[in-house]
Structure 1
């Protein structure tokens, strides 16, 4: 997708495609049906995100990544709903969800909206599982509103995606590249954009069916939302807050000797970027590209079960 940006680190560029992560103000025109214990499905809709709720039991919030649909979590939700109440988040602007915020901030508004959702629903320290950009939003949520999150699972995500260009990179150093990347997203023709998504999807997952769905989701997303999200994520650095974070964090990361990140390189990147987080559980999942839940479904299910049981 952004080969020019990642040409210095082609083995890790896949981590940005699925950046998976939508104003703290009261919403106008909200429609909502709030889930009760035992309910099979419910819905919450705002101009920043919507939430589908299935199952009954302890609460688990699932946040998808950059350009993705909540359907990326469907297999996980279907498996967990017998024992948990699962909240499937869909971020505004992605995969056909309406967007009305131009090129304004993305990450902080979604963090505040997630916190508002948790409080409005009376959820008591739910488990949060986020993929890529969604995990970054979950990490910021846990830092800013630690009372709202019981535990966090980060799936193939970093606290600062700019670190993919090197551990010495700062937010200010990333700013020109972030602006250029956002403008490139907006300038591409529909045909060029789709071709870029097709090419990028090959490196994101081993699952051929998911590759097709990824292209459909991103080409069905609002380009302004994608540009805003990409700029915001590249300029979000959650590392300074790691040392004081009290919420337990499990960070899964992918390694694939055939077309993905080599184990040694992945170990170095994730170990370095999470080094200041007390008690973090770093777990490498081999034989997987960016979408661990699709590439290693059985292993992922085992790790989710362990995470929820801890």
Structure 2
């Protein structure tokens, strides 16, 4: 299993090689997501609200602003009220004043947002780092949120190649990544190479590359450290709501993975999660909502409709 999912890890574990002390490339400005209302701004994220209906939180992954969910919003905005999250410091958004306990603070502020906005059991959809945050929100306050859609994310990324790894044992590696990534901005050429390993569409590769280059190194490095050293594999047993986990494997063939072997890693990490279903995309890379859009929407549709019927 040690050879499996290396590109999945590479999306984060080798991101340190993408950073340099060279100036930020000045080509195209990244797409910025601005809160509709100043009241929606929080110390570590901003929110854009779109549509009407049942509330749904959309949380992006590392270096991405909320605009990564534009196609999803277009599909569902007549059925849901979207609360589109952009984590400060990602994709050209203003960096937070402090990165101390970054992901824990984002988690707590998201839960506070759900409470203060009176969002009743919102659906939470998260990609990669955003999926990890969705799981962490639910393990922290199981009654606060509704069903979860987790897009190519795991409860403990650091343990992909060594299931016996503990959060404590992961700290030296995580600290090394934090120091190296935090030293400078991402190199555009190498960032594009990494983006191409995570998605297929050329225009989206360009967009993701701009977001990566424009992201704040201190924020990115702390987010990586926090995720590498937080193990939710046992904590997911507290999650009370149904969870749909969507996984990718096709990009990892060169590393010896198969659909079955990749799925086995997902099953192992989510073993303690009471109500979950794991589905694997046949062709999509890490950005499944971009790479296998129709499959992603069909899986989400079926899951959310089933949940709505169950709630009635």
Provide TM-score, normalisation by structure 1. 0.85
Q: What is residue 247 of structure 2 aligned with on the other side? A: 253
What RMSD, in angstroms, separates the aligned Cα atoms of the two structures? 2.4
Alignment of 1:51-66 (within 5 A): 51-66=47-62
Greater helix share, 1 or 2? 2
The count of corresponding residues between Structure 1 and Structure 2 is 284
Measure, in 2, the Cα distance between the counterparts of 1:68 and 1:274: 25
Whether contact under 8 Å (2:158, 2:165) holds in the other structure is yes
- The answer to whether the Cα contact below 8 Å between 2:183 and 2:217 also exists between their aligned partners in 1 is no
Gap change, CA 1:17 and 1:220, over 3 Å in 2:
farther
Cα deviation, residue 140, structure 1? 0.7
Contact 1:250–1:281 (CA under 8 A) maintained in structure 2: yes
2:23 corresponds to:
none
Looking at structure 2, the residues matched to 105 and 114 of structure 1 have their Cα atoms a distance apart, in angstroms, of: 14
Q: Deviations over 1:186-233 (max 9, x none)?
A: 234x4x633331221111011221111111111111111011111111
2:31 alignment partner in structure 1: none
Aligned-partner Cα distance in 2 for 1:65–1:259:
24
Partner secondary structure for residue 162 of structure 1: helix
Q: Could you tell me how far 1:11 is from its partner in structure 2?
A: 4.0
> For 1:309 and 1:272, how far apart are their aligned partners in 2?
27
Report SS of the residue matched to 2:281: strand
> Which residue of structure 1 aligns with residue 68 of structure 2?
72
Unaligned runs of 5+ in 1: 1-5, 20-30, 35-42
User: Which aligned pairs between 1:84-103 and structure 2 lie closer than 5 A?
Assistant: 84-103=80-99
- Out of 114, 117, 123, which is 1:121 matched to? 117
Residue 205 of structure 2 corresponds to residue 232 of structure 1 = no
Q: 2:201 matched to 1:207?
A: yes
Deviation at 1:164?
2.1
Q: Which runs of 5+ in 2 are unaligned?
A: 16-34, 307-312
CA separation of 1:119/1:61 partners in 2, compared to 1, >3 Å: closer, same or farther?
Answer: same
**Secondary structure in 1 aligned to 2:226?**
helix
Q: Which structure carries more relative contact order (alpha carbon 8 Å, separation 6+)?
A: 2
Measured in 1, the distance between the counterparts of 2:7 and 2:258 equals 8
Runs of 4+ in 1 over 2 A off after TM superposition: 6-19, 31-34, 100-103, 192-196, 257-262
CA contact (8 A) 1:16 1:161 kept: no
Alpha-carbon distance in structure 2 between the residues aligned to 1:103 and 1:52? 22
Output aligned runs, 1:65-214, within 5 Å.
Answer: 65-188=61-184, 190=185, 193-214=187-208
Q: Is the 8 A contact 1:203 1:259 kept in 2?
A: no
